[in-house]
């Protein structure tokens, strides 16, 4: 997405440049709440309301500076809009960032105050769990606002990774069908970069379907976990790009699809969970020109967001899984359009999402 390049160019941001960044990303509202008593320092960035109330998780992490937190919330809220739009959710995108204090003296009071903040926005923002927050925290938030989901009573799960992995696996299946003409993953060779939360779930799923896997991770413990659980082959991190495989599944870091790595790829398909995989948006076209089928990251890694939206709209896990399964058809349509029009899949997906957000 377009923000990738812009956000990496500037490491330190002045207030003016943050405002410009918000404007550039097409923001409507950004709200701040500071509460000395509880230690709450929260930012809620509502990117778009055009398709419905804005939805997105609430993350609580430490930041080197308030400006970094501001930049993060803007980047994430924007991404939520694109994920929601391309997956046809009746929601705009938003995100909340809680700047984690050194100590939270009273977690109950802290999250109640955050719940009041969400409530003041009158339903324009719906919150949910994200890094650093849990369904129990959302239970506290729910005491102060109805605009919350992923509580222990309502679809709450600490870990959305299996649902994210489901969407990625469905995209791999669609790509394998489109590019290799195969209806199953039996014997399909897949290189997975990153054996963390999503990677581990994905590897399990792929292994169960008979894929031939090679895995890399810089964390030897995570790698060993995968060897013990699934008996996969492993390779050093720098060798994952050049593996002789059908599919490369990046599930670790953003910006890994740069010119150097693209040149190394032997895979004819790239489909993984990592956010912002293209180091520059133009590299979507480079992949296309090299005959590599790229499944756009923001489309296929939206399983967690789809679940949050479904649960908020009174659906259950079965309904979430049904919608996540549909990623197969959404991405397949984009592959077909890409072949018809000789255009990069990333470009097509971005355009569809943009038009849904602005049309």
DSSP labels, 43-107: EEEE---TTSSEE--EEEE--SSHHHHHHHHHHHHHHHHHHHHHTT-S-EEEEEEEE--S--S-H
CA distance 40 to 193: 36
> Is 38 or 161 the residue whose CB approaches ligand NAD more closely?
161
Report the DSSP beta bridge partners of residue 34. Answer: 41
Minimal distance in Å, beta carbon 3 to ligand NAD? 14
How far apart, in whole angstroms, are the C-alpha atoms of residue 217 and residue 193?
A: 6
Residue closer to ligand NAD, measured from CB, 198 or 299: 198
* Three-state secondary structure call for residue 198: helix
DSSP class of residue 314? T
In whole angstroms, how close is the CB of 274 to ligand NAD at the nearest point? 4
Considering beta carbons, is residue 88 or 275 the nearer one to ligand NAD?
275
Closest CA to 312 of 81, 115, 127: 127
Residues that bind ligand NAD (CB under 6 A): 160-161, 164, 193-199, 216-219, 222, 237, 251-254, 273-275, 301, 304
Alpha-carbon gap, residue 302 to 136, rounded angstroms: 23
Q: Which candidate in 95, 113, 179, 207 is catalytic?
A: 95
CA distance 293 to 131: 31
Task: For ligand NAD, give the closer residue by CB, 163 or 211.
Answer: 163
Contact indicator for 350, 318 with CB cutoff of 8 Å? no
**Nearest approach, Cβ of residue 252 and ligand NAD (Å):** 3
Question: In the complex with ligand NAD, which residue's Cβ is closer, 34 or 317?
Answer: 317
Nearer to ligand NAD (CB atom), residue 145 or residue 323: 323
**Position with the least CB separation from ligand NAD:** 196
Shortest reach from residue 185's CB to ligand NAD, in Å: 20
Q: Which residues, other chains included, contact 20 with Cβ-Cβ below 8 Å and sequence gap of 6+?
A: none
Distances (CA, A) of 155 to 167, 184, 308: 18, 31, 8
Residue 44: beta bridge partners? 31, 96
Residue 95 designated active-site: yes
Kindly state the smallest distance separating residue 218's Cβ from ligand NAD, in Å: 4
Q: At closest approach, how far in Å is the CB of 244 from ligand NAD?
A: 18
Catalytic residues: 95
């Amino acid at each position: 997405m377009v923000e990738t390049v812009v956000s990496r160019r500037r490491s330190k941001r002045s207030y003016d440049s943050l405002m410009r960044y918000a404007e550039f990303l097409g923001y409507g509202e950004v709200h701040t709440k500071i509460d000395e008593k509880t230690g709450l320092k929260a930012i809620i960035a509502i990117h778009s309301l055009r398709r419905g109330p804005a939805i997105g998780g609430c993350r609580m992490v430490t930041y080197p500076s308030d400006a970094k937190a501001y930049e993060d919330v803007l980047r994430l809220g924007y991404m939520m809009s694109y994920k929601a739009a391309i997956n046809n959710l009746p929601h705009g995108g938003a995100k909340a960032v809680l700047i984690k204090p050194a100590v939270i003296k009273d977690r109950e009071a802290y999250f109640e105050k955050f719940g009041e903040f969400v409530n003041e926005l009158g339903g324009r923002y719906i919150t949910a769990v994200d890094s650093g927050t849990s369904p129990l925290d959302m239970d506290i938030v729910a005491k102060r606002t109805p605009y919350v989901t992923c509580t222990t009573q309502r679809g709450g799960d600490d870990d959305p990774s299996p649902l994210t992995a489901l969407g990625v696996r469905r995209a791999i299946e669609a790509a394998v069908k489109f590019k290799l003409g195969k209806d199953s993953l039996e014997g399909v060779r897949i290189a997975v970069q990153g054996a963390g939360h999503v990677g581990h779930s994905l590897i399990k799923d792929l292994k169960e379907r008979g894929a031939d896997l090679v895995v890399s991770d810089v964390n030897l413990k995570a790698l060993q976990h995968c060897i013990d659980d699934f008996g996969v082959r492993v390779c050093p991190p720098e060798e994952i790009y050049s593996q002789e495989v059908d599919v490369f599944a990046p599930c670790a870091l953003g910006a890994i699809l740069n010119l150097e790595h693209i040149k190394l790829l032997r895979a004819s398909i790239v489909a993984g969970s990592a956010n912002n995989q293209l180091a520059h948006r133009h590299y979507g076209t480079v992949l296309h020109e090299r005959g590599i089928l790229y499944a756009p990251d923001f489309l296929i890694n939206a399983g967690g967001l789809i679940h949050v939206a479904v649960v908020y709209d009174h659906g259950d896990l079965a309904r979430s899984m049904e919608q996540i399964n549909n990623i197969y058809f959404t991405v397949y349509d984009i592959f077909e359009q890409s072949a018809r029009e000789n255009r990069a899949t990333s470009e097509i997906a971005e355009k569809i999402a943009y038009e849904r957000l602005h049309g």
